[in-house]
Chain A
Amino acid sequence: MEENKLSENESLMLITEMISKAKSSYHSNGTGAIMWGIIIFFCSLFDFFQMQFKFDIGFDIWWLMFLALIPQFYMMFKNGKKKNFVSYEETTMSYVWGAFGLSILMLMFFNNYYRPAHSESLFLMLFGIPTFITGGMFRFKPMILGGLICWALFFISLYTDLKINMLLMALAACSAWLIPGIILRKKCSLAAQQANGI
Protein backbone atom coordinates (compact mmCIF):
# COMPACT_ATOMS: atom_id res chain seq x y z
CA MET A 1 0.00 0.00 0.00
CA GLU A 2 1.50 3.30 -1.09
CA GLU A 3 1.30 6.57 0.82
CA ASN A 4 -0.96 8.54 -1.54
CA LYS A 5 -3.09 11.56 -0.73
CA LEU A 6 -6.66 10.47 -0.34
CA SER A 7 -9.85 12.11 -1.53
CA GLU A 8 -12.84 12.02 0.87
CA ASN A 9 -14.48 9.35 -1.26
CA GLU A 10 -11.36 7.21 -1.36
CA SER A 11 -11.04 7.51 2.42
CA LEU A 12 -14.56 6.23 2.95
CA MET A 13 -14.01 3.41 0.47
CA LEU A 14 -10.77 2.41 2.20
CA ILE A 15 -12.48 2.38 5.63
CA THR A 16 -15.30 0.21 4.28
CA GLU A 17 -12.86 -2.16 2.57
CA MET A 18 -10.70 -2.62 5.68
CA ILE A 19 -13.65 -3.10 8.02
CA SER A 20 -15.13 -5.74 5.72
CA LYS A 21 -11.71 -7.44 5.39
CA ALA A 22 -11.42 -7.61 9.17
CA LYS A 23 -14.98 -8.87 9.58
CA SER A 24 -14.54 -11.63 7.00
CA SER A 25 -11.40 -12.86 8.75
CA TYR A 26 -13.40 -14.42 11.57
CA HIS A 27 -15.28 -17.59 10.71
CA SER A 28 -15.89 -20.84 12.46
CA ASN A 29 -15.28 -24.14 10.68
CA GLY A 30 -17.98 -25.80 12.78
CA THR A 31 -15.71 -28.48 14.31
CA GLY A 32 -16.61 -27.56 17.91
CA ALA A 33 -20.32 -27.56 17.15
CA ILE A 34 -20.12 -30.92 15.35
CA MET A 35 -18.17 -32.47 18.21
CA TRP A 36 -20.56 -31.27 20.91
CA GLY A 37 -23.52 -32.23 18.76
CA ILE A 38 -22.19 -35.78 18.40
CA ILE A 39 -21.40 -36.14 22.13
CA ILE A 40 -24.79 -34.90 23.36
CA PHE A 41 -26.56 -36.89 20.62
CA PHE A 42 -24.66 -40.06 21.53
CA CYS A 43 -25.07 -39.68 25.33
CA SER A 44 -28.80 -38.93 25.08
CA LEU A 45 -29.44 -41.80 22.71
CA PHE A 46 -27.33 -44.16 24.82
CA ASP A 47 -29.32 -43.16 27.94
CA PHE A 48 -32.53 -43.77 26.02
CA PHE A 49 -31.37 -47.27 25.00
CA GLN A 50 -30.33 -48.04 28.58
CA MET A 51 -33.86 -47.25 29.76
CA GLN A 52 -35.55 -48.92 26.82
CA PHE A 53 -33.62 -52.21 26.94
CA LYS A 54 -32.96 -52.09 30.71
CA PHE A 55 -29.20 -52.48 30.84
CA ASP A 56 -26.59 -50.60 32.79
CA ILE A 57 -22.94 -49.96 31.89
CA GLY A 58 -22.02 -49.14 35.49
CA PHE A 59 -21.13 -45.50 35.03
CA ASP A 60 -22.89 -42.33 33.94
CA ILE A 61 -22.43 -41.98 30.18
CA TRP A 62 -22.66 -38.18 30.56
CA TRP A 63 -19.13 -38.17 31.99
CA LEU A 64 -18.06 -38.47 28.34
CA MET A 65 -18.92 -34.79 28.10
CA PHE A 66 -15.93 -33.99 30.31
CA LEU A 67 -13.70 -36.29 28.28
CA ALA A 68 -14.70 -34.29 25.21
CA LEU A 69 -13.31 -31.16 26.85
CA ILE A 70 -9.76 -32.45 26.24
CA PRO A 71 -9.89 -32.33 22.40
CA GLN A 72 -11.92 -29.12 22.66
CA PHE A 73 -9.18 -27.38 24.67
CA TYR A 74 -6.53 -28.86 22.39
CA MET A 75 -8.31 -27.44 19.31
CA MET A 76 -8.72 -24.05 20.97
CA PHE A 77 -5.03 -23.97 21.83
CA LYS A 78 -3.98 -25.09 18.34
CA ASN A 79 -6.25 -22.57 16.56
CA GLY A 80 -5.23 -19.80 18.98
CA LYS A 81 -1.58 -20.30 18.05
CA LYS A 82 -2.36 -20.04 14.34
CA LYS A 83 -4.48 -16.87 14.62
CA ASN A 84 -2.97 -13.43 14.39
CA PHE A 85 -5.94 -11.37 15.61
CA VAL A 86 -8.72 -11.46 18.20
CA SER A 87 -12.15 -10.26 17.13
CA TYR A 88 -14.81 -8.74 19.37
CA GLU A 89 -17.26 -11.43 18.25
CA GLU A 90 -14.87 -14.16 19.30
CA THR A 91 -14.44 -12.61 22.75
CA THR A 92 -18.20 -12.27 23.19
CA MET A 93 -18.71 -15.85 22.05
CA SER A 94 -16.17 -17.22 24.50
CA TYR A 95 -18.01 -15.44 27.35
CA VAL A 96 -21.41 -16.70 26.15
CA TRP A 97 -20.26 -20.33 25.73
CA GLY A 98 -18.17 -20.15 28.91
CA ALA A 99 -21.25 -19.01 30.85
CA PHE A 100 -23.21 -21.83 29.20
CA GLY A 101 -20.59 -24.43 30.18
CA LEU A 102 -20.56 -23.21 33.78
CA SER A 103 -24.36 -23.19 33.93
CA ILE A 104 -24.48 -26.77 32.63
CA LEU A 105 -21.92 -27.78 35.25
CA MET A 106 -23.91 -26.07 38.03
CA LEU A 107 -27.11 -27.69 36.82
CA MET A 108 -25.41 -31.11 36.89
CA PHE A 109 -24.33 -30.51 40.51
CA PHE A 110 -27.85 -29.33 41.36
CA ASN A 111 -29.28 -32.48 39.79
CA ASN A 112 -26.94 -34.78 41.67
CA TYR A 113 -27.77 -33.03 44.92
CA TYR A 114 -31.57 -32.64 44.71
CA ARG A 115 -32.45 -35.13 41.94
CA PRO A 116 -35.41 -33.04 40.75
CA ALA A 117 -37.95 -34.41 38.28
CA HIS A 118 -37.86 -33.18 34.68
CA SER A 119 -34.44 -31.59 34.98
CA GLU A 120 -33.82 -32.52 31.32
CA SER A 121 -36.24 -29.70 30.45
CA LEU A 122 -33.85 -27.24 32.07
CA PHE A 123 -30.98 -28.63 29.98
CA LEU A 124 -33.06 -28.13 26.83
CA MET A 125 -33.81 -24.55 27.88
CA LEU A 126 -30.11 -23.90 28.50
CA PHE A 127 -29.09 -25.48 25.17
CA GLY A 128 -31.23 -22.90 23.39
CA ILE A 129 -29.60 -19.81 24.93
CA PRO A 130 -26.02 -19.80 23.50
CA THR A 131 -27.23 -21.37 20.26
CA PHE A 132 -29.79 -18.62 19.67
CA ILE A 133 -27.32 -15.85 20.61
CA THR A 134 -24.60 -17.28 18.33
CA GLY A 135 -27.05 -17.64 15.45
CA GLY A 136 -28.31 -14.09 15.96
CA MET A 137 -24.84 -12.56 16.24
CA PHE A 138 -23.59 -14.15 13.05
CA ARG A 139 -26.94 -14.04 11.27
CA PHE A 140 -26.68 -17.79 10.86
CA LYS A 141 -30.25 -19.00 10.43
CA PRO A 142 -29.64 -22.75 11.11
CA MET A 143 -28.44 -21.87 14.63
CA ILE A 144 -31.28 -19.42 15.29
CA LEU A 145 -33.65 -22.20 14.26
CA GLY A 146 -31.68 -24.69 16.38
CA GLY A 147 -32.12 -22.44 19.45
CA LEU A 148 -35.84 -22.10 18.79
CA ILE A 149 -36.18 -25.87 18.37
CA CYS A 150 -34.47 -26.38 21.77
CA TRP A 151 -37.03 -24.10 23.39
CA ALA A 152 -39.93 -25.81 21.59
CA LEU A 153 -38.56 -29.16 22.83
CA PHE A 154 -38.42 -27.67 26.35
CA PHE A 155 -42.21 -27.23 26.30
CA ILE A 156 -42.77 -30.72 24.87
CA SER A 157 -40.46 -32.25 27.50
CA LEU A 158 -42.70 -30.92 30.29
CA TYR A 159 -45.36 -33.40 29.19
CA THR A 160 -43.18 -36.44 28.39
CA ASP A 161 -41.27 -38.90 30.57
CA LEU A 162 -37.51 -39.16 31.11
CA LYS A 163 -37.03 -41.81 28.40
CA ILE A 164 -38.69 -39.71 25.71
CA ASN A 165 -36.89 -36.62 27.00
CA MET A 166 -33.60 -38.34 26.18
CA LEU A 167 -34.78 -38.60 22.58
CA LEU A 168 -35.72 -34.92 22.69
CA MET A 169 -32.20 -34.11 23.94
CA ALA A 170 -30.74 -36.08 21.02
CA LEU A 171 -33.00 -34.15 18.65
CA ALA A 172 -31.93 -30.86 20.27
CA ALA A 173 -28.23 -31.77 19.86
CA CYS A 174 -28.81 -32.50 16.17
CA SER A 175 -30.74 -29.32 15.45
CA ALA A 176 -28.71 -26.93 17.62
CA TRP A 177 -25.15 -28.11 16.89
CA LEU A 178 -24.71 -31.13 14.66
CA ILE A 179 -26.62 -29.92 11.58
CA PRO A 180 -25.53 -26.24 11.85
CA GLY A 181 -21.95 -27.47 12.43
CA ILE A 182 -22.04 -29.59 9.26
CA ILE A 183 -23.45 -26.62 7.29
CA LEU A 184 -20.67 -24.38 8.68
CA ARG A 185 -18.03 -26.95 7.78
CA LYS A 186 -19.34 -27.20 4.22
CA LYS A 187 -19.42 -23.41 3.88
CA CYS A 188 -15.89 -23.17 5.26
CA SER A 189 -14.44 -25.80 2.91
CA LEU A 190 -16.26 -24.17 -0.04
CA ALA A 191 -14.76 -20.79 0.91
CA ALA A 192 -11.30 -22.39 1.21
CA GLN A 193 -11.69 -24.01 -2.23
CA GLN A 194 -12.71 -20.66 -3.74
CA ALA A 195 -9.78 -18.92 -2.06
CA ASN A 196 -7.41 -21.51 -3.52
CA GLY A 197 -9.04 -21.12 -6.93
CA ILE A 198 -10.19 -24.78 -7.13
Chain B
Amino acid sequence: MAFKELDPILHSQLRLAVVSLLISVREAEFTFLKEKTNATAGNLSVQINKLKDAGYIEVTKQFSNNYPQTICRITKKGIESFEDYVSALQSYMNLGTP
Protein backbone atom coordinates (compact mmCIF):
# COMPACT_ATOMS: atom_id res chain seq x y z
CA MET B 1 0.00 0.00 0.00
CA ALA B 2 1.41 3.41 -0.99
CA PHE B 3 1.67 6.16 1.60
CA LYS B 4 0.04 9.44 0.75
CA GLU B 5 2.53 12.14 1.58
CA LEU B 6 1.35 14.70 4.12
CA ASP B 7 1.20 18.21 2.65
CA PRO B 8 4.15 20.08 4.26
CA ILE B 9 2.25 23.37 4.07
CA LEU B 10 -0.56 22.00 6.22
CA HIS B 11 1.53 19.69 8.39
CA SER B 12 2.50 22.46 10.77
CA GLN B 13 0.65 23.23 13.99
CA LEU B 14 -0.31 26.86 13.45
CA ARG B 15 -1.01 26.64 9.72
CA LEU B 16 -3.19 23.56 10.26
CA ALA B 17 -5.04 25.37 13.07
CA VAL B 18 -5.68 28.40 10.84
CA VAL B 19 -6.95 26.29 7.94
CA SER B 20 -9.15 24.21 10.29
CA LEU B 21 -10.70 27.43 11.60
CA LEU B 22 -11.18 28.89 8.14
CA ILE B 23 -12.78 25.70 6.82
CA SER B 24 -15.51 26.13 9.47
CA VAL B 25 -16.37 29.77 8.78
CA ARG B 26 -17.07 31.81 5.65
CA GLU B 27 -14.46 34.42 6.57
CA ALA B 28 -12.54 35.49 9.65
CA GLU B 29 -10.56 38.48 10.78
CA PHE B 30 -6.95 38.23 11.88
CA THR B 31 -8.09 38.95 15.47
CA PHE B 32 -10.42 35.92 15.43
CA LEU B 33 -7.60 33.62 14.29
CA LYS B 34 -5.24 35.07 16.88
CA GLU B 35 -7.81 34.67 19.66
CA LYS B 36 -8.61 31.03 18.77
CA THR B 37 -5.04 29.86 18.15
CA ASN B 38 -3.41 31.81 21.01
CA ALA B 39 -0.56 32.58 18.62
CA THR B 40 1.52 35.75 18.66
CA ALA B 41 0.61 38.33 16.03
CA GLY B 42 4.03 38.07 14.37
CA ASN B 43 4.04 34.29 14.08
CA LEU B 44 0.44 34.21 12.88
CA SER B 45 1.17 36.85 10.30
CA VAL B 46 4.11 34.82 8.90
CA GLN B 47 2.04 31.61 8.71
CA ILE B 48 -0.88 33.40 7.07
CA ASN B 49 1.47 34.72 4.41
CA LYS B 50 2.79 31.19 3.76
CA LEU B 51 -0.77 29.91 3.33
CA LYS B 52 -1.56 32.83 1.07
CA ASP B 53 1.54 32.22 -1.06
CA ALA B 54 0.52 28.56 -1.43
CA GLY B 55 -2.89 29.74 -2.67
CA TYR B 56 -4.71 28.06 0.23
CA ILE B 57 -6.26 31.23 1.60
CA GLU B 58 -7.00 34.70 0.30
CA VAL B 59 -6.31 37.74 2.40
CA THR B 60 -8.11 41.07 2.08
CA LYS B 61 -6.83 44.14 3.85
CA GLN B 62 -9.24 46.98 4.44
CA PHE B 63 -10.09 49.78 6.84
CA SER B 64 -13.09 49.69 9.16
CA ASN B 65 -13.77 52.78 11.30
CA ASN B 66 -10.20 53.95 10.68
CA TYR B 67 -8.78 50.64 11.95
CA PRO B 68 -6.91 48.26 9.63
CA GLN B 69 -8.70 44.95 9.17
CA THR B 70 -7.27 41.74 7.72
CA ILE B 71 -9.88 39.29 6.51
CA CYS B 72 -8.98 35.71 5.60
CA ARG B 73 -10.99 33.23 3.53
CA ILE B 74 -10.14 29.71 2.48
CA THR B 75 -9.86 29.14 -1.28
CA LYS B 76 -11.07 26.19 -3.38
CA LYS B 77 -7.46 24.97 -3.57
CA GLY B 78 -7.23 25.28 0.23
CA ILE B 79 -10.37 23.18 0.72
CA GLU B 80 -9.12 20.48 -1.66
CA SER B 81 -5.70 20.38 0.01
CA PHE B 82 -7.31 20.16 3.45
CA GLU B 83 -9.51 17.27 2.31
CA ASP B 84 -6.48 15.49 0.83
CA TYR B 85 -4.55 16.09 4.06
CA VAL B 86 -7.34 14.62 6.20
CA SER B 87 -7.70 11.56 3.97
CA ALA B 88 -3.92 11.06 4.05
CA LEU B 89 -4.03 11.28 7.86
CA GLN B 90 -6.83 8.72 7.92
CA SER B 91 -4.83 6.33 5.76
CA TYR B 92 -1.89 6.63 8.20
CA MET B 93 -4.21 5.99 11.14
CA ASN B 94 -5.82 2.96 9.45
CA LEU B 95 -2.38 1.54 8.82
CA GLY B 96 -1.56 1.86 12.49
CA THR B 97 -4.66 -0.05 13.66
CA PRO B 98 -4.32 -3.85 13.77
B74 → chain A closest CB, angstroms:
11
A70 within 8 A of B: no
Interface size on B, residues (CB 8 A): 32
| Cβ contact of A9, chosen from B23, B27, B39, B93, cutoff 8 A | B93
Q: Is B28 an interface residue (CB 8 A)?
A: yes
Is A12 close to B, CB under 8 A?
Answer: yes
Contact of B27 among A23, A25, A85 (CB under 8 A): A85
CB distance from A25 to the nearest CB of B (A): 8
Please name all residues of chain B whose beta carbon is closer than 8 Å to the beta carbon of A19 when the two chains form the complex. Answer: 20-21, 23-24
Task: Mark B35-76 against chain A: 1 for CB-CB distance below 8 A, else 0.
Answer: 111110001000000000000000000001100000000000
Which residues of B6-46 are within 8 A (CB) of A?
6, 11-14, 16-17, 20-21, 23-29, 31-32, 35-39, 43
When A2-B13, A3-B14 are in contact, do A14 and B20 touch as well, CB less than 8 Å? yes
Counting CB contacts under 8 A, is A86 at the interface?
A: yes
A1-37 residues with Cβ-Cβ distance < 8 A to B are 1-4, 6, 8-9, 11-12, 14-15, 17-19, 21-23, 25
In the complex formed, the residue of A with least CB distance to B64 is: A81
Judge if B79 is at the interface, Cβ distance under 8 Å: no
A91 to B86, CA, bound (A): 26
Chain B residue at minimal CB-CB distance from A26 = B25
Contact call A87/B31, Cβ cutoff below 8 A: no
Q: Looking at the complex, which one of A3, A12, A18, A87 makes contact with B12 (CB distance below 8 Å)?
A: A3
Which partner residue on chain B sits nearest A88 by CB separation?
Answer: B26
Which residues on B sit within 8 Å (CB–CB) of A85? 25, 27-29, 32
A interface majority secondary structure: helix
Residues on B with beta carbons closer than 8 Å to the beta carbon of A23? 24
Nearest residue (CB) in B for A21 is: B36
**Across the interface, which residues of A come within 8 angstroms of B43, CB to CB?**
1, 3
Contact of A18 among B17, B26, B64, B89 (CB under 8 A): B17
Output the least CB separation between A127 and chain B (Å).
Answer: 28
- 8 tightest Cβ-Cβ pairs between the two chains A and B: A18-B20, A22-B24, A84-B29, A85-B28, A84-B32, A85-B32, A1-B39, A8-B92
B-to-A contact residues, CB < 8 Å = 6, 11-14, 16-17, 20-21, 23-29, 31-32, 35-39, 43, 64-65, 85-86, 89, 92-93, 96
Identify 23 residue pairs between A and B in the complex whose beta-carbon atoms are under 8 Å apart, listed by A's number. Answer: A1-B13, A1-B14, A1-B38, A3-B12, A6-B12, A8-B6, A8-B89, A8-B92, A8-B93, A11-B6, A11-B89, A15-B16, A18-B16, A18-B24, A18-B37, A25-B25, A84-B28, A84-B35, A85-B29, A86-B28, A88-B25, A90-B26, A91-B26
